[in-house]
Structure 1
Amino acid sequence: MAIPEKLESELQYQDDIEDDDSLTSETSSSVADIIDSADDDALPSAGPASEYEDDAEEGESDEKATQDIPSARKWENFHLLGGVNHFLLNNDGTKALVALKQGEEVMIAGSFQVQILKGGIKYNDVHYNASQTALRVWHPSCSSMSPISSSFFAGWKERAFITPEILKTQVAHKDFECILLISNRCSGLLEISKLDSIFSNLWVSRDYLTSHTASSQQSTFAILTGRTMRDTTSVLSLNISSSWTQKLDELSLFHQGNPLDMRLMVLGGKNSGKSTFLRLLLQRFLHVDNDDDELIFYLDIDPGQTEFSGPDCISLNCVGKDLELGNPLGQSPNVPTIERYVGTNTPSAFPSKYLAEITELIDIAANEVHIGSTVLNVPGWVKGFGIQIVNNIISRFKPTHILLLGSVAKNQSLLNELQVDGTFSTPLRENYKAEVDIIDGYHGSPADFSLKARIQPYHLRQFRLLSHFHKLCSASHLIKYDFTPLIKQRPLRVSFGASGPIKAFKLPIPGDKWTDKNIKDMLEGTIVGIYKAAEKFDVNTQGRIPVAGQSTGGVFLHLGFIHSINVQEAYVNIYLPFSRKVSPTDQSAFDFFIERRKTEAPVSELLPHNELLNDHPELEIPFVSSRKPKKYEYVWKVRRNIQRRGHLTK
């Protein structure tokens, strides 16, 4: 059923008009991709797929996978004209109207919501109609961004959502194919630069002309054009390869034809684009041609680059139509169904513990008997013991599809070590073999990109950790942050010991010779995991601070940041994340314990600014010492007796 080239507009100027669910079938060959719409219908377009760079947390891009930035991109030629195609709807610039004519594109950096008031848009090769529901998009400057392309309303009867507030701007809406309402996704997000200046250009590029009326100090987004940027080459905007588009089409077709039990596992080395590919796939699964409230199971088991889990955690998640688009850097309001604390950004630090945790998550997902699709993102650790972990995941996850990203030459050795020769059976599918395929890795950006050189993987992990503790609330319409240093706030005082809710502390290194001073020095100023004990456990009470055994287990609640420990009075001062605050003092009927692993506390949180000490010279920070250490104090030098080539006996 084809759609006429021109549709007669039936504009309805009212606030509470219902969403239109009409669709068109005149699309590209990827029309069969079944994907849930966020609120209205979304269709894949025939244009090139543009997507985000894999968050640069996995190393440098392969030179073979890079492409040159084109000399001129369509969005660079878009001209913002105040009072014509661009209107600020409030004084602080946090709400703006942008109108696009046919064939125009606009690039928006930062964190924002976009509501389509008239017509439609194409974003990441997916078509969206005008709707009352806004799309939520994250475009950090260190990742590739996708432009928003103007498009028509895909339906027999066009509907628009031009409210009286929009009409007051006197925008000539009949002259434009598409009208967008852009607003902040977050409040207080940019204040993180007060903790660490490295984040000052994370969401809005330093090449953006801040004096331009397209943004303000309160706005978390910026409209990028050739006239609002000093240097547009600093903006990452690249197309993914045709092989990715083809594979996305194939997987979407399988998803449509097999709605009961599809299991996809994505493998690849560092910076191969695993997270990027899954973001694209989730968008298609959830935002195209499906009116059902379908949920996708997402096993997020890469603790160093989490999508939905907390910092240094892994989790099982149910992802629905309210998917956050772009690269949210772990800021999605989605609450994990099950979450486990790994305690490090690399699984190799605690390999046995990591293996036990992911085995438990996969078994829980299997017991749920999820009727639908499940995707699994595996870390880039595919060497040595990492291969054994991958094979264990394969045997338990029982994938229908295994996708290897990267060159055939690089993945051939990996493919030879994978144990996928047998057949699998699940409650919803019997005797099937996993379909294994290799496609090229992500076509990234030039390795000399300046902002990428400044924003390192370590910084992005620090951003996730800081935002985790400073997020006030995570609502669907607005996420609020308060980046006031924790050291300026009052911590929660919780008693420990036999009479307190915290029964013991679990240390990373077992031993029976720990002194109270050693434990106090080890824990103050560190990030810890807070657990609710599953059962009674043995406690070592040689000193005043109780120590739990290594076999102690429980349910992970959330992270905590220990300010100080008072050994004599047996209490700990601790900060809890605002958005996940489950205080042990509120659940006195349960026993809790605190576990220390290897999560690093942000330096900017430990000692935010020198001004803090200048304003409060009497303030004593327990985890900061002004004493100059002696030479080689706290420095361990270990010599390993390595048998060198000259030592070999002949």
Structure 2
Amino acid sequence: MTTRLSAFAALNNSDSDSDSEGEGEGNVVDNVTFENTAITPLNNSNFSLREGVNVQYHHDYILLALQSDDILVIKGRYSISVIQGSVLIDGYTLVQGKSLKINASSINSLPSIQSNSSIPIENDSIFSSTNTYTSIIKLENIDNHFDEISNLYSHVKYLYNSEISNSLQNTSSSSYTFTIIIEPELNKSSTLLHQQWLNIFQSIFNESSMSINHQSILTIGNKNTGKSTFSKLLINTLLSISNKKIQLLDIDPGQPELCLPGCISLTHITSPLIGTILPWENNTTTSTLTKFIGFSSPNHQPLKYLKQLDHLIDTILLSSNNTITIINSPGWVKGFGTEIISHLKSKLSITYLIQLSHTNKDLDILQSIEWDYETKIFKALSFSSLSSNFNLYSPAVIRNFKLLSYMHYNHENKNYNFKPLLSNSPLKVSYTTSKDYSSLINYPGILGFTIFDHPFSYTEGLHESLECQYVAIVTIPSTSLTTKFSSNILKHENCPNYINETIFHSLSPHIKFHGLALIHSIDTKNNTINMYTPIDFTNIRDNLLNNNEKLFILKGREDTPIEEIYPVQILKDSASYWSSFGLDALPYVSASLSNEVMGGKISTIRRNIQRR
């Protein structure tokens, strides 16, 4: 218990000096008082770097000494490890001998790092200084080429760069994949824990530690009120001080944290959520159950969205004791948003309800839903009310950023390659056009596809609707394939089998989502689909050959970034650019675009695929 209390003591100390009395009388909720306090947003480190005094520069890492009141703000990609003492990073306590990999970009507020101890380091053999330091950390390069995404997608030009000159003030010739923010970063602040939020975290911890039953925490609020930030900080804090199992139910397909756009998920979490989260980077300690929705908004197919949500809820209901489920809800507090929250409440017992708003007034959703007597309700100010953080990027840009990052990640070498996908040969996967059940049950390739929210009888444009589009790669157990599939297949000339989407929704509990692929083209002569995907097909292929699973393609309405199909490099210097890949001419694609087919924009495809 001493360790947990000391962790909270450090959290309480993190911004208490900055709190000042704001307007309003404050409000009392369940005997916990929250004042309308305000803090001065911190958008840069609050101390100077002095080589040999508190910083040492090395080839690909630096050593840094922190005093008890130092707050460090870093932008970039780096690994942080604690040499002596301990540090607090976005609510998570990192102790001596442990390390974390962090991606701190302009997509999210920048992580803040501060010493988690007030006890001076004894026998400091690293820094010979008269200053009193409480922690020494190591910041190490992560050179996975992720910063090169701006070469492909110029909308994120300032993902790591800044219009203001920030420097590590390094006198050596070494370069780093991170920058310590010395001058304030425009429109960007760090994620300092506000005392109001911290009081809620402490109240939840104190009460939850006295029960072994499963508990659920639901955060509600309008868009851009900080629901995701609140959830991540709460998770990080609980990971540091609680022995509970933590899982996150992420149900906003437009801006999910731990799954791809167009999906919802339930994730068991064992490591903190800091900075810009890239869930496709291998994390062996995190398991995720993902459901493909196919839309960025739940209201496109509301009933089918709720059905997919129910499958995740069913998994939650099977959770063991000593588990806390944190629910990150969509930013809707009216209309279908109310229906989603009401649906959640009818299926799950909500232990804690947190309302985030710009004022302490109740949202309509608090009054329109009859909450259980046992549900404890907290009301807190939104993140935007507590900081000057301004998101430079629209939701559409963030979705494209995530899709492009996912498609260009190499799981084998754990690096990114943001050269246009068109510079590589696509993966070739065979498909069948047979409707015969006995043939389908033994076929080791793609059995068919469907387009969500598409008239089953409408066949025009099906072929074109797949090309240059994102699709979900899914499998179902072979035992789930019944003769109903044969009667729900619509054959179409020069096209794989088109299957009524109702079949897939009826089998949704059994559908396994493997990831996304970008269809390059369909070879109707050889019955193959050419696609780009970071998915490792090894296990899928083995299960297909062993007849354990059946392979399908699902298409929603996720837009394809035009940069992926028609990259800006083509326009700049086509001849010299493509010759660098050993190509004599522009491959695969012309500039023609059309909106006339089902499923969104397409590009006209050339059939000159080069095999290398």
Deviation (angstroms), 1:626: 4.0
Residue equivalent to 2:225 = 272
| Structure 1 residue identity aligned to 2:463 | K
- Kept after mapping to 2: 8 A contact 1:531/1:556: yes
1:326 matched to 2:314? The reply is: no
- The answer to whether structure 1 residue 260 and structure 2 residue 210 are counterparts is no
1:192 CA drift (Å): 1.0
1:44 matched to which residue of 2?
11
| Secondary structure, aligned partner of 1:44 | helix
C-alpha separation in 2, matches of 1:437 and 1:151: 27
1:529 paired residue number:
472
Distance 1:26 1:510, change over 3 A: closer
Q: What is the CA distance between 1:354 and its match in structure 2?
A: 1.0
Residue in 2 that maps onto 1:188: 145
User: Aligned partners of 2:85 and 2:418: how far apart in 1?
Assistant: 38
Aligned AA (1:253):
N
2:356–2:380: 8 Å Cα contact kept in structure 1? yes
Where does 1:163-202 land on structure 2 (aligned, <5 Å)? 171-172=127-128, 175=131, 176-185=133-142, 187-202=144-159
**Whole-angstrom CA distance in 2 between matches of 1:266 and 1:345:** 20
What corresponds to 1:305 in structure 2?
255
Match of 2:379 among 435, 438, 447: 438
Which of 55, 80, 83 is residue 114 of structure 1 equivalent to? 80
Q: Could you report, residue by residue, the CA deviation over 1:123-170 in whole angstroms, capped at 9, with x for unpaired residues?
A: 4456544x1111333322243334322353779xx799x9xxxx7xx6
Change (3 A) 1:147 1:512: closer
- For normalisation by structure 1, the TM-score amounts to 0.75
Conserved 8 A contact 1:502-1:584: no
Partner residue, 1:485: 420
Given that residues 235 and 273 in structure 2 are in contact (C-alpha distance below 8 angstroms), is that contact kept between their aligned partners in structure 1?
no
Q: Distance in 2 between matches of 1:399 and 1:390?
A: 10
Does the Cα contact within 8 Å between 1:472 and 1:578 map onto a contact in 2? no
Q: Which position in structure 2 is the counterpart of 1:98?
A: 64
Q: Measured at CA, do residues 191 and 238 of structure 1 come closer, stay the same or move farther in structure 2, by a change above 3 Å?
A: closer
Contact 1:236–1:445 (CA under 8 A) maintained in structure 2 = no
Deviation at 1:377, TM superposition (A): 1.0
Out of 202, 223, 236, the residue aligned to residue 249 of structure 1 is 202
1:511 counterpart (451, 456, 459)? 456
Would you say the 8 A contact 1:501–1:585 is kept in 2? Answer: no
Greater CA drift, 264-273 or 94-103: 94-103
In 2 relative to 1, CA 338–24 (structure 1 residues): closer, same or farther, beyond 3 Å? closer
Aligned residue among 535, 541, 555 for 1:596: 555
RCO higher in 1 or 2 (8 Å CA, sep ≥ 6)?
Answer: 1
Query: C-alpha separation between the residues in 2 aligned to 1:262 and 1:50?
Result: 33
Is the counterpart of residue 139 in structure 1 residue 104 in structure 2? yes
SS in 2 for 1:317: strand
1:67, distance to aligned residue in structure 2 (A): 6.9
Distance, in Å, in 2 between the alignment partners of 1:101 and 1:596 is: 53
Letter of the structure 1 residue corresponding to residue 418 of structure 2: F
What TM-score results when the alignment is normalised by the length of structure 2? 0.79
User: Within the alignment, does 1:353 sit opposite 2:338 as a pair?
Assistant: no
Supply the AA of the counterpart residue of 1:506.
Answer: T
Distance (Å, rounded) in 1 between the aligned partners of 2:537 and 2:122: 40
Report the CA distance between 1:207 and its aligned residue.
1.9
Amino acid across the alignment from 1:521: E
Q: 1:183 is aligned with what amino acid?
A: E
Contact in 2 for aligned 1:185/1:479 (Cα 8 Å): no
Correspondence 1:618 to 2:559: no
Match of 1:16 in 2: none
Q: Describe the superposition over 1:466-511 as per-residue Cα deviations: whole angstroms up to 9, x where unpaired.
A: 111222239xxx9532223211111110111145510111123123
Question: Deviation digits for residues 39-94 of structure 1, max 9, x if unmatched?
Answer: xxxx634332799xxxxxxxxxxxxx997966xx695452222333222221xxx4
Question: 1:558 aligned to 515, 526, 536, which one?
Answer: 515
Contact 1:45 1:127 in 2 (8 A): no
Alignment pair present for 1:208 and 2:157: no
Shift of the 548–472 alpha-carbon distance from structure 1 to 2, 3 Å rule, reads same
Give the drift of 1:224: 1.3
Q: Is the 8 A contact 2:44 2:189 kept in 1?
A: no
Does the 8 Å CA contact 2:215/2:324 hold for their aligned counterparts? yes
State the distance in 2 between where 1:340 and 1:437 align: 30
Total equivalences in the alignment: 544
Take 2:168 and 2:180, find their aligned partners in 1: how far apart are those partners? Answer: 12
CA shift for structure 1 position 394:
0.9
2:408, 2:417 within 8 Å by CA — same for their partners in 1?
A: yes
Residues 216 and 412 of structure 1, relative CA distance in 2, 3 Å threshold:
farther
One-letter amino acid of the structure 2 residue matched with residue 392 of structure 1:
H
Distance 1:216 1:376, change over 3 A: farther
Which sections of structure 2, spanning at least 5 residues, go unmatched? 19-35, 435-442, 505-510, 599-612
Once residues 450 and 358 of structure 2 are traced to their aligned partners in structure 1, the CA distance between those partners, rounded to angstroms, is 44
Per the alignment, residue 219 of structure 1 pairs with 176
Change in CA separation of 1:101 and 1:273 when aligned onto 2, cut-off 3 Å: closer
2:200·2:378 contact (CA, 8 Å) conserved in 1? Answer: no
Q: Which amino acid aligns with 1:439?
A: A
Give the conservation status (yes or no) of the 8 Å contact 1:45–1:125. Answer: no
Note the alpha carbon deviations across 1:440-461, whole angstroms, 9 max, x for none.
2224577795xx34x2222111
- Of the three residues 457, 461, 479, the one matched with 2:395 is 457
Greater displacement, 109-118 / 478-487: 478-487
Summarize deviations over 1:505-544 as a string: whole Å, max 9, x none. Answer: 11231233414xx122111000001111342223222424
Q: Which residue of 1 aligns with 2:48?
A: 79
- Determine if contact 1:122/1:128 at 8 Å carries over to the other structure: yes
SS of 1:591 mapped into structure 2: strand
Instruction: State the alpha-carbon separation in 1 of the partners of residues 122 and 172 from structure 2.
Output: 29
Structure 1 equivalent of residue 410 of structure 2: 472
- C-alpha distance after superposition, 1:606-637 (max 9, x if no partner): 12222574335633424x4448x8xxx8499x
Distance change >3 Å, CA 585–CA 544, structure 1 → 2? farther
CA distance in 1, matches of 2:142, 2:383: 28
SS in structure 2 of the partner of residue 225 of structure 1 = coil
- Specify whether residues 200 and 213 from structure 1 end up closer, same or farther in structure 2 by C-alpha distance, changes over 3 A only: farther
- State yes or no: 1:576 paired with 2:511: no
Inter-partner Cα distance in structure 2 for 1:44 and 1:436: 22
Q: In 2 relative to 1, CA 405–519 (structure 1 residues): closer, same or farther, beyond 3 Å?
A: same
Asked whether the equivalents of residues 50 and 238 of structure 1 are also in contact (C-alpha less than 8 Å), the reply is no
- Aligned mates of 1:181, 1:448 — CA distance in 2: 27
Q: After TM superposition, give the deviation of residue 185 of structure 1 in Å.
A: 4.5
Alpha carbons 2:249, 2:327 under 8 Å: kept: yes
Q: Contact conserved, 2:225 with 2:358, CA < 8 A, in 1? A: no
Query: Does the C-alpha gap of structure 1 residues 409 and 124 become closer, same or farther in structure 2, counting only changes over 3 Å?
Result: closer
Q: Tell me, yes or no, if the aligned pair for 1:69 and 1:238 is still in contact at 8 Å.
A: no
Amino acid at match of 1:352: L
State the alpha-carbon separation in 2 of the partners of residues 317 and 88 from structure 1: 38
Query: Cα gap change, 1:472/1:359 in structure 2, threshold over 3 Å: closer, same or farther?
Result: same
The amino acid of 1:502's aligned partner reads I
Q: 1:298 to 1:150 in 2, by over 3 A?
A: closer
Identity %: 24
Instruction: Name the CA shift for 1:561/1:132 in 2 (closer, same or farther; >3 Å).
Output: same
Letter of the aligned partner of 1:114 in structure 2? I
Give the direction of change, closer, same or farther, for the CA distance of 1:153–1:224 in structure 2 (3 Å limit): same
The 1:580–1:481 alpha-carbon spacing in structure 2 relative to 1, beyond 3 Å, is farther
